[in-house]
Amino acid sequence: MITRQINPQTLWLTFGTPFETESLMFDREQTTLLKKTPSLPVKLSLENDRLQLTDSLSDDTRVLGLGENLRGMNKRGGIYESFCTDDPIHTPGKKSLYGAHNFLLVEGAVPYGIFIDYPGKVIYDIGYTRHDQLIITITGSDVDIYLFQEGNLKELALAFRRLMGESYIPPKWAFGFQQSRWSYRTSKEVEAVAAAFLENEIPCDAIYLDIDYMERYKDFTVDKEAFPDFPGLVASLKEKGFRLIPIIDAGVKIETDYPVYEEGKDRGYFCLNRKDEPFVAAVWPGKVHFPDFLNPEARRWFGLHYQFLTDQGIEGFWNDMNEPSIFYTEERLQQAIDLAKDSEGQNLDIDAFFHLTDTFKALFNHPDDYKQMYHQVKGEMVNHAKIHNLYGFNMTRSAAEGLAELEPNKRFLLFSRASTVGQGRYAGIWTGDNHSWWEHILLNLQMMPAVNQCGILYTGADTGGFSDNANAQLMIRWSQFSLFTPLFRNHAALHTRHQEPYAFDGASTAILRDVIRLRYALIPYLYSEYMKAAKKSGLFFMPLSFEYSEEQAALTDDQLLVGESLMATPVYRENARGRHVYLPETMLLWKATGPAGGQLEVVPQGHHYLKADLAETLIFLRKNRILVLGEPAMSVEKMDLSTMRVLAFVDDTASYVLYDDDGLTHHHREGAYTEIHLTITHKAGDFQVKVAASSHVKVKVLKLVMINAAGKQQEQVVQVVPDAAN
């Protein structure tokens, strides 16, 4: 074991010869080699070439983290595996989802954080086998482990965040509402969706193309019959305020004369089997090869293929099936077919019958199939199972680097299904195939801060649920949460009920219009908070316990802090007309019925049952914090930013920095952004406002509503005078 110190707070332990994952980005030269290993918060042991870390847990030790995973914010009581998995049924007994996020925060008497930088499977038994034990099993012994010590939970999480580099920066329009479905199959269908949004006056910035836009599920093709004039469609939609976002899958269809297949095969860019032939698996198009994204040349080659779509005006993509998901392999399918043939005419008893059906069910993502697949890394064959969790990461990186090479100064919308730590530099993620279940609103909320801790800031769930059918009420309540998530996308599976915001009844459409318009009003704030978090290695979502130290805050796992000013407390139970809320301090409640409507009320610290009718979104403004609101429009770029509303809950002093930039390029890196510095002080019922703004600021007027803890309200209109020198 080699022990190094990155800073006094962070230890870096190296065992054996770890695979270079590129999850973290820090200056390795600047670390200090330690001669003596300091005392560690975990015990280490090695058995059968597996490294194990253990710690004992007292009854009230909470364990947070693991990014995109199941169960509550506190992972105690569960067993989890980091192994990117396409499992479309997110029930509490499952161990893995699409991401592998090996970061834990253990909040014992002395809290610590731990990151396991290992690209194969890692198993976390968090008080499952024994309620008082944490057992982390790494399925190998070549690994880097990072330990974060000395600090509260937030400081520990930030110490980890700082090792990852700047987070992905999406275009500003990606904060608008987005509409998806598997699938809008033709130009006509897509146009009808756009028309419905316009007709119903519901803002929307993007419409999605799922796999059916392609020619027989081949990446970088467009079905010409369904989309006779694809660039024309892209342009006319953009004119109307909608971007079109196509899907790209990991598997490349095996088909003679299909250029992507031919090139990949000729240049040796596909993953191999044991016999050195391209590895064959079946996914959507039938048989495919998987690009070897761990090979930098293959990565560049695939990434540059996105040009086929960017040349036609496309400005955003979602990468799917990149765990990679495997429906079946030929040999395993053959074995199952043989078994079925042998079973023909037999009197199958319980064991034989289930053996037969289970054999077919087990074809999907069979773990042994991953062991048949190889990558070529620096001239060496590397078994896929050992580096499985890097596949989606490197597919996404391939896209991000390809797009950056094609148009270096342009921001593209990009998010992926599979992910690992480090990927947050390149793109966002969505949380995959959830269900139209009320429980999944809560799961969505509970995952968000843990995903952020792993550096992935641009994220959100399929709002309304992917599988199963949503009703209007679910759609409304879920949207009232998703309006806080950077990615706010309504997406649903094939054969499910339509769940576009106008797909229910008139009254529900009206509510959803207001909810989505409320989202647009929040965009100046959400964007400002996102950009600050991305550029300064911060967090967008936080659990209450990151900011409030009392025990009740830590026990609250159905509320979230959103940026520095807000707390989200969505209603997530069917037919509820309100919910229990815990306030760690006195806050200002805005029961928002739309971008401007709804009551304001000061709610004291403590427990409350708050009523929330279906049309009401509960938005809490923290004490001595400020919320800036914009005027909604049908799309982000149509928003008029010259007048903004400001809601301030001020007891003594509150200040806020509103960040903005062009939203489309990377000129912000050379200083092309604006800031408005707002300071409001309150004394004896009187409010004083100070505003300083950089030159080129778009905002001209601020309309302030200021409230103190006693509920005294003062309104004021302030002109924003840009600072000539700034």
Q: Please report how close the Cβ of residue 460 comes to ligand MIG at its closest, in angstroms.
A: 13
Binding to ligand MIG in span 467-506, by CB under 6 A: 491
Strand partners, 167: none
Helix (H) or strand (E) holding 47: strand 43-47
Which is nearer to ligand MIG, 477 or 491 (by Cβ)?
A: 491
Which is nearer to ligand MIG, 61 or 434 (by Cβ)?
A: 434
In the list 292, 401, 433, 558, the residue contacting ligand MIG (rule: CB under 6 A) is: 433
In the block, which residue shows the tokens 């030790």?
61
Binding to ligand MIG in span 545-604, by CB under 6 A: none
Which is nearer to ligand MIG, 321 or 472 (by Cβ)?
A: 321
Rounded-to-integer distance, Cα 391 and Cα 291, Å: 10
Our measurement of the distance from residue 581's CA atom to the centroid of its chain's CA atoms, rounded to an integer in Å, reads 25
Which is nearer to ligand MIG, 24 or 211 (by Cβ)?
A: 211
| Contact indicator for 289, 252 with CB cutoff of 8 Å | yes
Which is nearer to ligand MIG, 121 or 491 (by Cβ)?
A: 491
Q: Is residue 320 a contact point for ligand MIG (CB under 6 A)?
A: yes
Which is nearer to ligand MIG, 172 or 417 (by Cβ)?
A: 417
Which is nearer to ligand MIG, 467 or 674 (by Cβ)?
A: 467
| Contact indicator for 90, 435 with CB cutoff of 8 Å | yes
Q: Please report how close the Cβ of residue 497 comes to ligand MIG at its closest, in angstroms.
A: 15
Alpha helices by DSSP H, listed for 350-438, are 350-361, 367-371, 384-387, 391-406
Which is nearer to ligand MIG, 326 or 526 (by Cβ)?
A: 326
In the list 127, 285, 422, 432, the residue contacting ligand MIG (rule: CB under 6 A) is: 432
In the list 182, 197, 279, 412, the residue contacting ligand MIG (rule: CB under 6 A) is: 182
Q: Please report how close the Cβ of residue 249 comes to ligand MIG at its closest, in angstroms.
A: 7
Q: Please report how close the Cβ of residue 392 comes to ligand MIG at its closest, in angstroms.
A: 12
Cis status, amide bond into 324, omega within 30 of 0: yes
Q: Please report how close the Cβ of residue 463 comes to ligand MIG at its closest, in angstroms.
A: 12
Q: Please report how close the Cβ of residue 223 comes to ligand MIG at its closest, in angstroms.
A: 14
Quote the strand ranges of 183-254, DSSP E.
Answer: 206-209, 243-249, 252-253
Determine the residue with CB nearest ligand MIG: 182
Q: Please report how close the Cβ of residue 402 comes to ligand MIG at its closest, in angstroms.
A: 21
Residue 216 corresponds to which tokens in the numbers above?
A: 């027989």
Q: Is residue 87 a contact point for ligand MIG (CB under 6 A)?
A: no
Which is nearer to ligand MIG, 134 or 418 (by Cβ)?
A: 418
Q: What is the DSSP letter of 559?
A: -
Q: Please report how close the Cβ of residue 247 comes to ligand MIG at its closest, in angstroms.
A: 6
Nearest residue to 485 via CA among 414, 558, 562, 425: 562
Residue 239 corresponds to which tokens in the numbers above?
A: 């004119």
Size of the site for ligand MIG (CB under 6 A): 10
Q: Please report how close the Cβ of residue 211 comes to ligand MIG at its closest, in angstroms.
A: 4
Rounded-to-integer distance, Cα 15 and Cα 9, Å: 20
Which is nearer to ligand MIG, 466 or 659 (by Cβ)?
A: 466
Which is nearer to ligand MIG, 52 or 183 (by Cβ)?
A: 183
Rounded-to-integer distance, Cα 571 and Cα 587, Å: 18
In the block, which residue shows the tokens 């929330």?
612
In the list 417, 425, 513, 645, the residue contacting ligand MIG (rule: CB under 6 A) is: 417
The backbone region for 297, taken as left when phi is positive above 0, alpha when psi lies in -120 to 50, beta otherwise, is alpha
Length of the chain: 726
Which is nearer to ligand MIG, 466 or 582 (by Cβ)?
A: 466
Summarize the chain as % helix, strand, coil (round to 5): 25, 30, 45
Rounded-to-integer distance, Cα 24 and Cα 636, Å: 33
Strand partners, 55: 134
Q: Please report how close the Cβ of residue 175 comes to ligand MIG at its closest, in angstroms.
A: 20
Residue 21 corresponds to which tokens in the numbers above?
A: 């994952």
Q: Please report how close the Cβ of residue 438 comes to ligand MIG at its closest, in angstroms.
A: 20
Cis status, amide bond into 56, omega within 30 of 0: no
Cis status, amide bond into 486, omega within 30 of 0: no
| Contact indicator for 124, 83 with CB cutoff of 8 Å | no
Binding to ligand MIG in span 236-255, by CB under 6 A: 247
Q: Please report how close the Cβ of residue 635 comes to ligand MIG at its closest, in angstroms.
A: 23
Q: Is residue 639 a contact point for ligand MIG (CB under 6 A)?
A: no
In the list 144, 210, 292, 557, the residue contacting ligand MIG (rule: CB under 6 A) is: 210
In the list 211, 456, 516, 697, the residue contacting ligand MIG (rule: CB under 6 A) is: 211
Nearest residue to 502 via CA among 192, 185, 176: 192
Half-sphere exposure (Cβ direction) of 335: Cα atoms closer than 13 Å: 11
Q: Which residues would be at the binding site for ligand MIG (CB under 6 A)?
A: 182, 210-211, 247, 320-321, 417, 432-433, 491
